[in-house]
Structure 1
Amino acid sequence: MNSQKYAVNQPLIETLINWVKSGEIAIPEIQRPFVWSSKKVRDLMDSLYQGYPIGYIIAWKNPNVKLKDGSLSEGKKILIDGQQRVTSLTAAIIGQKVVNKDYKKIKIQIAFNPLEEKFETLTPAIAKDKKWIDDVSTVFNGNLFDIVGDYLENNPDADKLKIQTVFQDLINIPKKQIGLIELSGDLDIEKVTEIFIRINSQGVELSQADFVMSKISSNETYGGNLLRKAIDYFSHLSKAPEYYSHIAENDTEFSKTDYFQKISWLKNENGDLYNPTYKDILRVAFTFKFNRGKLSDLVSLLSGRNFETREFEEEITKQSYDSLISGVKEFINETNFKRFLMIIKSAGFVDNRLIRSVNALNFAYILYLKLKEQKYNSALIEKYVKKWFVLTILTRRYSGSPESEFDFDIKNISQKDFGEYLKEIEDAQLSDAFWNAELIQRLNTSISTSPVFNVFLASQCYFNDKGFLSKDITVKNLIEQRGDVHHIFPRDLLKKKDLTRGQYNQIANYVYTQSEINIKIGNKPIEKYLQEVKEQCNGGELKYGGITEFSLLEDNFKQNAVPISIFEITMDDYQEFLIERRKLMAEKMRKYYEKI
């Protein structure tokens, strides 16, 4: 029979608050920052006053760790569900400030009307009304006799006995019990995740990255609390640089750290090619520094797990924090980050809409950092990162569950010459059969965000190709300026032929073109508007772009992988056109991959 995996207790609320104050329970701020409104705090206090249940909180005990002298250090409890409720209780009962979404420390004041036995968020009107206590935390932390006396003095018509009873009920809130489910410290992360999902009434799922954040934020010995902030703030600033001033003004402790200096460059950045979440930062830093791909291993290592003896050792905890901190610092380094993005852009991925696989981008950054650490030549690093990034997108290497592939790749990369490893993967996955058959088949899709179509567009940006029928405007210009995707065979005419959405929206029928060209073409049959393009090249009226020579037109078709036979076809030849263009698109992508 399996042993009990958790214990259920009902400590007093005041006991729980004392545990938080003493650090026996660590609030990891998984849901960063405090997200409850003051009204939800008010409702929580009202539920407790009325005697209603407020649900269980869940804590996971850190394993006991063996110190160098052989003694054991008792592990803390980490709160993994109930952070908002516990933070609300500490805010309302002991007046502890919380960090809001703007990273400001604020005091949540919950007012109380003893006559109506009603809680409310403090407002200027309530503050002027003598029937209200401005802040219930003053009641919990004050002298009841004096508080009742002062209230009756300000409200002489109030029923003295009722007021005494109401205040007594109010200060008894911390004496009430709260349900605590404590998960065993020897459970692995997969089991903890499963238990959490099963007993969490909100249906919220925590990722392994969330558990890592819990671990590091509750560890002050090795600087985990500041590391957690560095990760959090970097991911936030990468999306919203304007929050720099909020952090500088409201987290003065962090703003004095080396971490803050290392991420301050983000205040002037507005690019959105790569806006990593805290999960991305953790995954890249961990895989890069630990040569492992499974984040569950990081949770164990931060706890001090020795994978051979299955014991927990303080020295392993220290080494793990040192390595993770080093990895995060390499990730957030301005030179590294900008150099990596320059490499990705130089491969033609000039816009975040061309990058649908964050996993591929994450591993490309891991590879960049790893090759740099291994002292590869900078030109080789650029070549290898570009090729690997494109290869992993084309082959969908990190789609689905990427952890096992991350683990497999990083172990090989750390043990072999990367050029040799890349050749192995190319031989296995980018054979002639891939380029001449599989890739062409995958181009048979109507999904405009398809990875293969994005690679095709990236190849056009890389080769500096012009937009369809454009003389000077490039595909890169059009993508960056949100240009039009044009149907070579007009969509509305294909609809009239009773083609399905999936048929007329084929990506082999798509080209980037200037809006004015797209509008001019409108719903003209392909044979009609191309005849007018030919006349334009024979000295006729300039209708579509600025191309006036056949040689330039043929080159434009080649750049857009449009078959030159298009001049001989009609609307009835749509399917044959798609087949021919897919072949040309695949050929272009192969040429692109071989050149980068």
Structure 2
Amino acid sequence: MPVISLDKSTPKEAVCQVFENVNTGGVSLTVFELVTAIFAMDDFQLRKDWEERREQSFSGDLLSKVTATDFLTALTLLSSFESGGTVSCKKKDVLALTLDEYKKYADSLCSGFSIAEKLLKEERFFSSDDLPYSTQLIPLSTVCTVLIDGNRIHTTSVKNIVKQWYLCGVFGELYGSANETRYANDIVQVVKWINDGGDLPKTVTDFYFNPMRLLGLQSRQSAAYKGVMALVLKNHARDFISGAEMDFSTFSDEKIDIHHIFPKDYCIKEGYDKRKWNSVVHKTPISASSNREIGGYAPSVYLEKLEKKGSVTPADLDGYVETHWIDHNLLRADDFQNVIIDRAKTADRYRGSNWQNHLRQGLG
């Protein structure tokens, strides 16, 4: 049996790297596994503790993708920030985490994650599948934990600043790669911004969104795509049949999903440009019941069906349609090209140059 001998002075991150290099059995050795072994030397069962915390604080859908390693990374970020020294949460920093630090901050961090979950729901991110970045939860929850002191995170002005920073990360698509350095910059800069009115965080100044990007958002896997749909929901978008606002309860009960405004089959039959009809500009949250009535029909046809199905007047239905940033006159005229143009212009007022200034200056 081959044996690799490691001296006691070998850094923990090197031990982890050695295992990753020689591991051919497919068994993952994560940072969490190593910290679990380290804490076991002090007779502390980290895995059991995490499983209990996951059941109590992370059982909801929105936080369900938070992993044990995510939690340790966030806790390391919080601990290093609170220590007043260099803020970092790289692998070597997580492996250097002490049991005392873990016990000191674990409970408050769970509260921070819960507050982050509430903030995300306020911005109409309701499910884990619609969460732009699971990685951005790490600095978001850590910032929320720091701001629990003095109950500041529950004040409107502070919440708006945190949301502003968060949305800049989403629409700037800044959390799609290695992020540990950005985590550290964010917690220091966001908290200083709030406490001292300091300079804008790098995530805010790095933020840029080209309006032409809207046509490039073809897949719901994109963070900005998910952000656009959240903004439509935050515009108090209403169900086409019931007229009910698509809040958290409606989103779950009515099985809200993202669908094309002009049905896909209709667009293909009419020969419309796929880059347009499959872009986020041409999609909106629609309930399962409304989508069944829409079928593959032209809007002028399915709107009449919706009126009969929901016993809704044309004027009321037009109002519901407008909450989705859709011009009802253009939709009833089956004017695909101008629906796309008009909706893109409406979106640009939120997501173009004016919108970038809006985010940089505050949510208002």
TM over 0.5, shorter chain: yes
Q: Which letter maps to 2:175?
A: Y
Match status 1:327 vs 2:105: yes
Q: Which letter maps to 2:197?
A: E
SS of the aligned residue for 1:485 comes to strand
Larger helix share, 1 or 2: 2
Q: Which letter maps to 2:231?
A: S
Report the counterpart of residue 211 of structure 1 in structure 2: 34
Larger strand share, 1 or 2: 1
Match status 1:272 vs 2:45: no
Return closer, same or farther for 1:525/1:579 CA change in 2, 3 Å cut-off: same
Q: Once the two structures are superposed, what CA deviation does each residue of 1:385-418 show, in whole Å capped at 9, x if it has no partner? A: 3333322222222221111211222343465545
Asked if the contact 2:143/2:191 (under 8 Å) is kept, the reply is no
SS of the aligned residue for 1:459 comes to helix
SS of the aligned residue for 2:259 comes to strand
Once the two structures are TM-superposed, the CA of residue 280 in structure 1 deviates from its matched residue by 1.8
Q: Paired residue for 2:180, among 403, 415, 424?
A: 403
Output aligned runs, 1:13-24, within 5 Å.
Answer: none
Report the counterpart of residue 37 of structure 1 in structure 2: none
Q: Which runs of 5+ in 1 are unaligned?
A: 1-54, 56-178, 239-265, 303-319, 537-541
Output aligned runs, 1:542-581, within 5 Å.
Answer: 542-543=307-308, 545-550=310-315, 552-564=316-328, 566-567=330-331, 570=334, 574-581=336-343
Q: Which letter maps to 1:511?
A: T
SS of the aligned residue for 2:61 comes to coil
Once the two structures are TM-superposed, the CA of residue 474 in structure 1 deviates from its matched residue by 2.1
Match status 1:378 vs 2:154: yes
Q: Distance in 2 between matches of 1:182 and 1:494?
A: 64
Once the two structures are TM-superposed, the CA of residue 232 in structure 1 deviates from its matched residue by 3.7
Report the counterpart of residue 441 of structure 1 in structure 2: 213
Q: Once the two structures are superposed, what CA deviation does each residue of 1:153-196 show, in whole Å capped at 9, x if it has no partner? A: xxxxxxxxxxxxxxxxxxxxxxxxxx432223333455434322
Report the counterpart of residue 84 of structure 2 in structure 1: none
Highest relative contact order (Cα 8 Å, sep 6+), 1 or 2? 2
Q: Distance in 1 between matches of 2:236 and 2:245?
A: 6
Q: Distance in 2 between matches of 1:282 and 1:527?
A: 54
Q: TM-score, normalised by structure 2?
A: 0.79
Return closer, same or farther for 1:585/1:284 CA change in 2, 3 Å cut-off: same
Once the two structures are TM-superposed, the CA of residue 366 in structure 1 deviates from its matched residue by 0.5
Match status 1:347 vs 2:166: no
Output aligned runs, 1:152-167, within 5 Å.
Answer: none
Asked if the contact 1:348/1:458 (under 8 Å) is kept, the reply is yes
Asked if the contact 1:456/1:588 (under 8 Å) is kept, the reply is no
Match status 1:288 vs 2:66: no
Once the two structures are TM-superposed, the CA of residue 427 in structure 1 deviates from its matched residue by 6.0
Report the counterpart of residue 281 of structure 2 in structure 1: 508
Match status 1:473 vs 2:244: yes
Identity of aligned residues (%): 17
Once the two structures are TM-superposed, the CA of residue 422 in structure 1 deviates from its matched residue by 7.1
Asked if the contact 2:190/2:201 (under 8 Å) is kept, the reply is no
Q: Once the two structures are superposed, what CA deviation does each residue of 1:448-507 show, in whole Å capped at 9, x if it has no partner? A: 24322322332344343213x345222235522213433211211222345687664322
SS of the aligned residue for 1:486 comes to strand
Q: Distance in 1 between matches of 2:324 and 2:72?
A: 40
Q: Which runs of 5+ in 2 are unaligned?
A: 82-86
Q: Distance in 1 between matches of 2:178 and 2:188?
A: 17
Return closer, same or farther for 1:529/1:417 CA change in 2, 3 Å cut-off: closer
Report the counterpart of residue 9 of structure 2 in structure 1: 186
Q: Distance in 2 between matches of 1:443 and 1:183?
A: 54
Q: Distance in 2 between matches of 1:566 and 1:517?
A: 19
Once the two structures are TM-superposed, the CA of residue 205 in structure 1 deviates from its matched residue by 4.3
Match status 1:230 vs 2:49: yes
Once the two structures are TM-superposed, the CA of residue 282 in structure 1 deviates from its matched residue by 0.6
Q: Paired residue for 2:226, among 454, 465, 478?
A: 454
Once the two structures are TM-superposed, the CA of residue 595 in structure 1 deviates from its matched residue by 4.0
Return closer, same or farther for 1:283/1:271 CA change in 2, 3 Å cut-off: same
Q: Distance in 2 between matches of 1:196 and 1:528?
A: 62
Report the counterpart of residue 236 of structure 2 in structure 1: 464
Q: Distance in 2 between matches of 1:558 and 1:514?
A: 16
SS of the aligned residue for 2:5 comes to strand
Q: TM-score, normalised by structure 1?
A: 0.51
Q: Distance in 2 between matches of 1:443 and 1:289?
A: 42
Asked if the contact 1:557/1:564 (under 8 Å) is kept, the reply is yes
Return closer, same or farther for 1:358/1:293 CA change in 2, 3 Å cut-off: farther
SS of the aligned residue for 2:216 comes to coil
Q: Which letter maps to 1:273?
A: L
Q: Distance in 2 between matches of 1:427 and 1:409?
A: 9
Return closer, same or farther for 1:219/1:507 CA change in 2, 3 Å cut-off: same
Report the counterpart of residue 143 of structure 2 in structure 1: 367
Q: Distance in 2 between matches of 1:188 and 1:579?
A: 58
Q: Which letter maps to 2:292?
A: I
Report the counterpart of residue 587 of structure 1 in structure 2: 349
Asked if the contact 1:215/1:299 (under 8 Å) is kept, the reply is no
Asked if the contact 1:483/1:515 (under 8 Å) is kept, the reply is yes
